[in-house]
Amino acid sequence: MKRSIRYVLSEHESACLAKACADERLHAANSEDQQAVVNACQAIVQSVEHEASGLVAVIRSLRELRTSPGLVVLEGLPTVEDSRRLIILLGSVLGNLLKYPNEGDYVIAIKEKQTKPGERPSFQNAREFYFHTDLSYTENPPRYLMMHAVVNKPGEGGISLFADIDRVAKNLSPLDINELQKPQFLFPAPPHYKGGGTVKLPILTQDELSGVWRLRFRRDNLRAETRPGVDAVVQLVRAINECAEEVMLVSGSMVMLDNQSFLHGRTAFAGSGEATHEPRHLNRAYASC
């Protein structure tokens, strides 16, 4: 991928994270009280800064608007007793963990509950999940998305797909870009989002000073108010598919990405009854900086 970084942790870095996740300040925090874990991790981050400065620098490179890689895949993470601690800890290295109460707690398990015919693709089923940015249906989607593969076996599907909006925009005509910048798109919340609701906003925005493109997008149930708007979405989907990059997030890896400049999706995976191993399980969290 053009802008993305793959970073394999050294044994020392992996051991440092394992130690941080076993820190006594975390033992004091009830693991079901994620707010307490978030608070404890904010203090523990300092020791990670000292002991794993290379890893910290890579993660924080995501913060630079102009020079950000946009997407970092970390490989070789330690296996820890409570995997939620690891994503909260690394999210705290990046910035401030965010919670969207209508969506759930800080850490949300991406796990199949049951795949019903005809239902929208989601983090709770095994269907192909088309390219999207997270929480496109909220006024303020999170800047950063993190997904930690706790169990993700090669050969059972569930391959991650990513697309960089910088590359996608280059494959669109000025006319389509103009349409996508109009506040003419209706984004309805999916059924799991408590309170529901629909926002009407542009899909694409461009920062005036830096020229950096940002987007919000989720194809299923998206509505455009005009015919040129619908046509522009068709072109956008074509351009996204042309730029798609596949990454298998094997167990023990984590992707940290700029949710407003990278789209993500995943292929269908072996669901209940089909999986030969433990069921697929990723943890998801959001952060701002």
Ligand X SMILES: O=C(O)CCC(=O)C(=O)O
| Shortest distance, position 269 Cβ to ligand X, whole Å | 8
Cβ proximity to ligand X, 92 vs 160, nearer residue: 160
Per-residue interface string for the shown chain with ligand X, residues 87-126, x marking contact by CB under 6 A = -----------------------x------------x---
Q: Does 160 bind ligand X (CB under 6 A)?
A: yes
Beta bridge partner(s), residue 161: 246, 265
Nearer to ligand X among residue 121 and residue 229 (C-beta): 121
H/E segment holding residue 200 = strand 198-201
Instruction: Indicate the helix (H) or strand (E) that contains 255.
Output: strand 253-258
162 scored as a contact of ligand X (CB under 6 A): no
Q: By CB under 6 A, is residue 213 in contact with ligand X?
A: no
Find the largest Cα–Cα distance for the chain. Answer: 59
Q: Tell whether residue 275 is a contact of ligand X (CB under 6 A).
A: no
Cβ 11 to ligand X shortest distance, Å: 27
Separation of alpha carbons 152 and 44, rounded Å = 28
Query: Structure tokens of 134?
Result: 């997270």
Neighbours of 81 (CB within 10 A): 10
**CA pair distance 275, 269, nearest whole angstrom:** 8
Size of the site for ligand X (CB under 6 A): 10
CB of 129 to ligand X, least distance (A): 5
Rg (CA), the chain: 19
The residue (of 29 and 131) whose beta carbon lies closer to ligand X is: 131
129 is a site residue for ligand X (CB under 6 A): yes
Residue 198: strand pairing partners = 188
Q: How far is CA 45 from the centre of its chain?
A: 21
Per CB under 6 A, the list member of 264, 271, 275, 283 interacting with ligand X is 264
Nearer to ligand X, 7 or 129 (CB): 129
Residues 6+ positions from 127 with CB-CB distance below 8 Å: 115, 119, 121, 268
Residue 150 Cβ vs ligand X, minimum distance, rounded to whole Å: 12
- 282 is a contact residue toward ligand X (CB under 6 A): yes
Is residue 127 involved in binding ligand X (CB under 6 A)? no
- Between residues 44 and 256, which has the closer beta carbon with respect to ligand X? 256
Instruction: Give me the least distance between CB of 136 and ligand X, in Å please.
Output: 10
| Of 278, 283, 264, 19, residue with least CA distance to 128 | 264
130 touches 265 (CB < 8 A)? yes
Minimum distance of ligand X from residue 128's CB (angstroms) = 10
Q: Which is nearer to ligand X, 22 or 159 (CB)?
A: 159
CB of 134 to ligand X, least distance (A): 5
Report the distance separating Cα 23 and Cα 56, nearest Å.
18
Phi, psi (deg, nearest 5) at residue 124: -105, 5
| Nearest residue (CB) to ligand X, 78 versus 190 | 190
From the CB of 77, what's the least distance to ligand X, in Å? 16
Rounded CA-CA distance 17/78 in Å is 7
Near ligand X by CB under 6 A: residue from 23, 103, 134, 258: 134
Residues of the shown chain interacting with ligand X in the complex, contacts defined by CB under 6 A: 110, 123, 129, 134, 158, 160, 264, 266, 282, 284
